[in-house]
Chains A and B, each alone.
Chain A
Amino acid sequence: MNINMKNLIKIFVLVIVVSSVVSCQKNSRPNYQFFPNMYEAVPYETYSESDAFANGVAAQLPVDGTIPRGYTPFEIENTPEGFEYAKANLKSPLDSSEIDTPRGKELYDIYCGICHGNKGAGQGNLVKREKILGIPSYADVGRAITEGSTYHTIYYGKNAMGSYANQLNEEERWQVVAYVLKLKADLEK
């Protein structure tokens, strides 16, 4: 009996050791690092916390009134009047040789097609799955979209649609506008 008990105790200890070693391997914690200061950088990382600024974030918005290099400010305001103005007056700076339909389609499919559908009829995947409803067709008579109104809407958003100004740059937005108008023309055929 004694030997039996000893063996049992040994097995018990072994189980505890193994289980504690195994349970230390947690995926919710990062691994050990050889030289941590090459992983956790000394300079500010874009999204890191930082005590250099009042709101505690390293990523800051540009100072009011500054314009990034290679960036043209969009003068038309985000108001119903601005929308009407853009609808009537704003024209695409791209001429027919600069319009890159495959690229416009690629960007459209990523950013717009998920709701507006790859044909622009308002039947994107999110609409089919009834997550977001009421997406109009580009051929909608009441809206009668123009290149100016489309650009304004991409830039500022409209109603339930948000702004895509941070996902597409100016040239890309106009490429998408050109592609949207192509879809509209196809739908109206």
Chain B
Amino acid sequence: MLMKKPYQSLEVNPTNNMKQVIRRKLSASILRLSLVFLLTFSITLSAQEGDPAKGKSLFNSNCAACHQLDKKMTGPALRNVMQRLEDSEGLDREWMNAWIRNSAGMVKSGDAYANKIYNEYGGAAMTAFPQLSDQDISDILAYTAEEVQAPAAGAAQVGAAPVAGEGDSVSNKLILGALAVLFGLLAFALMLVNKTLRNFAEAKGVDLSEDKSIPLWKAFVKNQFLVIVTVIIFLLAAAYFAFGYFMQIGVDQGYQPVQPIHFSHKIHAGDNGIDCKYCHSSARVSKTSGIPSLNVCMNCHKSVYEYTGETTAEYSKEFYDGEIQKLYEAAGWSDADQKYTGEAKPVKWIRIHNLPDFAYFNHSQHVTVAGLECQTCHGPVEEMEIMYQHSPLTMGWCVNCHRDTNVKVKDNAYYTKIHEELSKKYGVEELTAAQMGGLECGKCHY
């Protein structure tokens, strides 16, 4: 029976058949030898052939979700990782390959350093990358072994932009100043000319006395018709301006407060093309569009810790980075430890759009049911460096839009019946929001 199944019996009790054991050991050691040979060969090869450029793209697509070169993220910083591990832990490339391809297996196998790093990062196993070839790993390691690049090019760019911007404003000021001086000189010259002419006139004996005719205002007062017309015009104008002034009370169109953290809708919604509803998610389903809580910011800003886009003199990289730091402070996020400290501080955002309590407005009705673009009411938010109120939010403004906009009835069974009845009543193909009842007082005031 033993002879029938020699291999299985070996597993159970390896000492009962010496011959087999020896053969197995032999084959195993040959295998191991060849593996070592292969690995050393591949290492020597790869040490020369690791291509940092390829490695960079591999790193960015595979590793960068959790690792950066010089900054602790979800996983440790990886600059010179191979060199560091060789020096401090005596680990070799074979270990690295095994770790990258199956870190969970390494931890289970009881490897000391694997367990150390696993526990250090909160028991979150690194994703296995069995698809990476030896060459791929060499490329990635070559990329991590690159020297820190002096930020010369970047700094030059960043430095150049503000200088140019300042130059603009300086030259503007110069031109304006020069103009002012010019006008001053002109006025002075005219006065001088006037004075000289008078001197000439006096010298020649020309009579310059101006007070012989009646003063203009006396002539005006004497003409009663002119006085009445003027008073009427004055009163009308005053009424016009008073009316205009009273009508704009409570209208905050153009209101643009300075927020405690400078949030640029231009960068987020414009440059990066993040959907409005990503942050203002409650606009889909509730009355208010909501101020995003800071965890929504942190969804991205855990990874995005610095600004790398275009800068101007007013809004430099340092400025934006400072604002991100303000966010970290408010959210209680320690960027160095990649952990929440638990000391969050609420941000005192200043509300811009504020309808009085006697008017009911529901975002989800407009966003989800009517399918309106946010920009219809809020204007070109994706171009606003500083958010402001684009629309007057007055009743006339609401009503005008309700009169012009057709109700979106497609794919909405809720409206099918009422739309049929009302469109028959009004004799139209498509109903506007007003015809659907969008002008009834009780719809918004109750």
Interface residues of A, Cβ cutoff 8 Å to B: 1, 4, 27-35, 38-39, 41, 46-47, 49, 55-57, 79-80, 109-111, 114-115, 122, 125-126, 129-136, 140-143, 157, 159-164, 166-169
Contact = CB atoms under 8 A, between A and B. Distances in A.
A166 B288 contact: no
Contact of A162 (B66, B299, B358): B299
B304 A109 contact: no
Nearest to B271: A129
Contact of A80 (B123, B271, B298, B358): B123
Given A80-B125, A114-B274, A142 B66 contact: no
29 contacts: A4-B194, A27-B254, A27-B256, A28-B257, A30-B257, A31-B249, A32-B249, A34-B250, A35-B356, A38-B358, A39-B354, A39-B356, A46-B288, A79-B123, A80-B123, A110-B281, A111-B278, A126-B272, A131-B308, A132-B300, A133-B61, A134-B63, A134-B65, A135-B65, A140-B127, A141-B130, A142-B129, A159-B74, A167-B281
B210 to A, nearest CB: 8
B361 to A, nearest CB: 14
B304 A131 contact: yes
Contacts of B291: 47
A41 B356 CA distance: 8
Chain B's interface: helix, strand, loop or mixed, by majority?
loop
B255 A166 contact: no
Contact of B277 (A55, A56, A110, A157): A110
Nearest to B253: A31
Interface string B190-206: 01001100000000000
Closest 10 CB pairs of A and B: A134-B64, A134-B65, A133-B64, A162-B299, A167-B281, A38-B356, A142-B128, A159-B74, A27-B256, A110-B275
B421 interface: no
B299 A161 contact: yes
B252 A30 contact: yes
B124 A129 contact: no
A188 B194 CA distance: 91
B60 A133 contact: yes
B290 to A, nearest CB: 8
Contacts of B195: 1
Contact of A122 (B61, B66, B296): B61
B423 interface: no
A32 B271 CA distance: 35
Given A31-B255, A142-B127, A143-B127, A160 B250 contact: no
A114 B278 contact: yes
Given A111-B278, A126-B272, A133-B65, A27 B255 contact: yes
A131 to B, nearest CB: 5
Interface of B: 59-67, 73-74, 123-125, 127-131, 191, 194-195, 248-252, 254-258, 271-275, 277-278, 281, 285, 288, 291, 293, 295-296, 298-300, 302-304, 308, 346, 348-349, 351, 354, 356-358, 388
B249 A132 contact: no
B60 A134 contact: yes
Given A31-B255, A132-B304, A134-B63, 15 more contacts: A31-B252, A35-B356, A39-B357, A49-B348, A56-B346, A57-B346, A110-B277, A125-B274, A126-B274, A131-B300, A132-B303, A134-B59, A134-B62, A160-B74, A160-B302
Contacts of A125: 272-274
Q: Which of A111, A115, A133 has the most CB of B within 10 A?
A: A133
Contacts of B65: 133-136, 159-160
A29 B257 CA distance: 6
Contacts of A122: 61
A131 B272 contact: yes
Contacts of B356: 35, 38-39
A49 to B, nearest CB: 8
Nearest to B131: A141
A80 B124 contact: yes
Q: Which of B123, B354, B356 has the most CB of A within 10 A?
A: B356
Contacts of A34: 249-250
Nearest to B302: A160
A125 B267 CA distance: 13
A136 B126 CA distance: 13
Given A131-B272, A133-B65, A160 B73 contact: yes
Contacts of B249: 31-34
Nearest to B279: A167
Contacts of B251: 31
Given A4-B191, A142-B130, A160-B74, A31 B64 contact: no
Contacts of B123: 79-80
A60 to B, nearest CB: 12
B246 to A, nearest CB: 9
B64 to A, nearest CB: 3
Contacts of B303: 131-133, 160
Nearest to A123: B61
Q: Which of A32, A115, A132, A157 has the most CB of B within 10 A?
A: A132
Contacts of A35: 356
Contacts of A134: 59-67
B161 to A, nearest CB: 18
